[in-house]
Amino acid sequence: MKKLLSLLLILCLAAAAHAQTTTTKYSADEKAVLQVNQGIAEAWNKHDTDLYFSYFAPDAQWVNVVGMWWRNAAEHKYALDIFMKVMFNKTKHNILHTEVRMLRPDLALVRHNWELEGWVMPDGRDMSDVSTGVMTLMLEKRKGKWLVIDGHNTSIDKKAQDPVLTMKK
């Protein structure tokens, strides 16, 4: 019994040391990546597209919630400047939940659930009650700075029923 307890203790300590090493290795980068994610939301809420795009690499591609695909930050900024004036000028982007996955020391995948308040269509329809989604960002560390290199924004259809919610766990 003592041998079994000793073995379990050693395994637990080894697992804890491994987890601590893994977390410590990327903790500064994970924090920097989360700051970019938060900075993007804050820039959106200020309706400041110059600040918003300071977090993007010039070659960053983007697919928006309705499938428009912009192949660089200049195209994305041009479109967002128009949309900010027409329908997003009173919006607030709220981050509900964020996950970061370090793919390499210089490459990170970020996903966050969001809700958008104050979204009004050009015809006056308030879209806030249907504005929830998932944003996926790919960030790369370039010259010591984390920048978005690709992103995709997906709306959540509240009528859709995810079968995983009924899955036995």
Domain boundaries, the chain: 27-166
CB-based burial of residue 42 (10 Å sphere; 0-12 exposed, 13-18 middle, 19+ buried)? middle
What's the pLDDT score for residue 13?
41
Average the pLDDT over each of 12-16, 60-64, 70-74 and give the range with the smallest value.
12-16
What's the pLDDT score for residue 17?
44
Of the pLDDT bands very low, low, confident and very high (cuts 50, 70, 90), residue 15 is very low
* DSSP conformational letter for 137: E
Of the pLDDT bands very low, low, confident and very high (cuts 50, 70, 90), residue 24 is very low
What tens digit of pLDDT does each residue of 41-69 get? 999 999 999 999 999 999 999 999 999 99
Does the domain at residues 27-166 carry the CATH identifier 3.10.450.50?
A: yes
Q: Which residues contact 60 (CB under 8 A, 6 or more apart)?
A: 72, 73, 76, 147, 148, 149, 150, 151
Residue 73 or 158, more confident = 73
What's the pLDDT score for residue 21?
40
Contact 71, 61 (CB under 8 A): yes
What tens digit of pLDDT does each residue of 91-117 get? 999 999 999 999 999 999 999 999 999
What's the pLDDT score for residue 127?
82
Contact 139, 108 (CB under 8 A): yes
CA 151/CA 48 separation, integer angstroms: 18
CA 149/CA 138 separation, integer angstroms: 6
What's the pLDDT score for residue 78?
99
Tally of residues, the chain: 169
Residue 112 or 1, more confident = 112
Q: Which two tokens stand for residue 41?
A: 């939301």
Which residue's entry shows tokens 């995983």? 164
Helix (H, G, I), strand (E, B) or coil at 167: coil
Contact 110, 136 (CB under 8 A): yes
Cα 165 from chain centre: 22
Of the pLDDT bands very low, low, confident and very high (cuts 50, 70, 90), residue 121 is confident
Q: Where are the alpha helices (DSSP H) in 49-140?
A: 49-53, 73-86
CA 79/CA 141 separation, integer angstroms: 26
